[in-house]
Amino acid sequence: MSIENLVNPHIRNLTPYSPGKPIEEVERELGISGSIKLASNENPLGPSPRALDVLGRAVAGVHRYPDGACFALRDRLAERMNLSADQFIFGSGADEVLEILAKTFLSPGDRVVMPWPSFAMYPLVARGMGAEPISVPLTSEMQHDFPAMAAAVGRGAKMVMLCNPNNPTGTSFGAGALADFVSAISDDVVLVIDEAYFEYVRRADFPDSLALVAERPATVVLRTFSKIFGLAGLRIGYGVSDPELVGFLDRARHPFNVNRLAEAAALAALDDDEHASQTRAMNDLGVDYLTQELEGLGYRVWPTDANFVLVETGPGYYDALLRRGVIVRPLVGFGLKNHIRISVGRPDENEILVKALRAIEQGGDVAVGEQS
Ligand SMILES: *Cc1c(COP(=O)(O)O)cnc(C)c1O
């Protein structure tokens, strides 16, 4: 008997997504304490106090099944975003919306064009349906290579992913680039624009992707409550699209896919403009501080519109930082062995990181090739 041979070939060959190491695990392994985690682009201020407040009350209702359609939240979002309530699909994180999209549109052999390096879930959800991810390398400036992506779409693709700002590079594209790309691809291709970091964006010409949804029905915009709203641990994100398309996504969605606590907390966090603007202000300062300090140390730092920075340090820095109790994101899996991704922390955390890097440079304790 071979279990392996029983497994669906699409699943057998997958490499599981590898999340950053939990802080407790790192401390136990290294026998250290007081370490900081700047690895998963979480909100370093924590969740919105308003969300915490409603969670306390919502807990008493967890013997009831949730409303997976999230009626209350969809109405509030529709009002805030000036959309219609039937344009939303909710998931256990935007990750699940990606999976619902894959389940709805992809069959074995279908092609999905995506930038690379980009969000690791894109190839995973495509492969999970037996579809073929077509990775188009970013330009040397870590930008989406739109002409190459349009050409790849033209060779026969069912779906194309854009990530704006792009994870793990932080780089973004503007309205002009998106408009040119859209006019270069067929209206029959499902265009997914992942805007998980939308609320952090600073560039003035950021595309109005919701307007694009109105003009081009096979377009889906993804947003999440995991990032600026600080609810990563509850799992809730959403997609915005044409009502007809959303109706099909709903057929592929489990009825109770979003839990009660997540919906209640998201609803409260959505209206906590103070928490969001405080987070954004702290992030802006953190991005500027880190960019200046890290460039001062001689590293290349990419411009970012998100709550993390891509830094070209040279090899070995992930491990060297880990030994000093600072957890960042290694990018070896993306073929970026000279780079790390650093989530912007609170000012005190950013200073700890900079001090650790300074100490590494002075101590010379980075050995080439040791990055795990
Ligand atoms: C974090 C992230 C998501 C989704 O996160 P969820 O926690 O599943 O909502 C989606 N796309 C990108 C690019 C991300 O970085």
- How is 104-147 classified by DSSP, letter by letter? HH--TT-EEEEEES--THHHHHHHHTT-EEEEEE--TTS---HH
- From ligand 1's centre to the CA of 363, what distance in Å? 36
The residue contributing the CA closest to ligand 1 atom 14 is 196
- Residues 111, 267: Cα–Cα separation, whole Å: 36
Percent of the chain with pLDDT over 70: 97
What does residue 317 show for φ and ψ, rounded to 5 degrees? -75, -30
- From ligand 1's centre to the CA of 332, what distance in Å? 20
Confidence of residue 363 (pLDDT cuts 50, 70, 90): confident
Q: What is the pLDDT of residues 332-355, one digit of tens each?
A: 999 999 999 999 999 999 999 999
The residue contributing the CA closest to ligand 1 atom 1 is 196
Query: For the ranges 14-28, 53-67, 149-163, 171-185, which has the lowest average pLDDT?
Result: 14-28
Residue 364 has a pLDDT of 65
Mean pLDDT of the chain: 95
| Number of the ligand 1 atom closest to the C-alpha atom of 237 | 9
Q: Radius of gyration over alpha carbons of the chain, in Å?
A: 21
| Number of the ligand 1 atom closest to the C-alpha atom of 236 | 9
Cβ atoms within 10 Å of 251's Cβ, excluding its own: 9
Residue 30 has a pLDDT of 85
- The residue type found at 132 is E
Residue 26 has a pLDDT of 83
Q: Which residues line ligand 1 (CB under 6 A)?
A: 93-95, 119, 163, 167, 194, 196, 224, 226, 232, 237
Q: What is the pLDDT of residues 77-131, one digit of tens each?
A: 999 999 999 999 999 999 999 999 999 999 999 999 999 999 999 999 999 999 9
Ligand 1 site-directed mutation target among 119, 138, 240, most atoms within 8 Å of CB: 119
Confidence of residue 365 (pLDDT cuts 50, 70, 90): low
The DSSP code sequence of 279-315 is HHHHHHHHHHHHHHHHHHTT-EE---SSSEEEEE--T
- From ligand 1's centre to the CA of 168, what distance in Å? 11
Residue 369 has a pLDDT of 45
Query: What average pLDDT does this structure show over 161-178?
Result: 98
- From ligand 1's centre to the CA of 1, what distance in Å? 39
- Residues 96, 126: Cα–Cα separation, whole Å: 13
Does this model's pTM top 0.85? yes
| Number of the ligand 1 atom closest to the C-alpha atom of 163 | 13
Residue 371 has a pLDDT of 44
Residue 366 has a pLDDT of 63
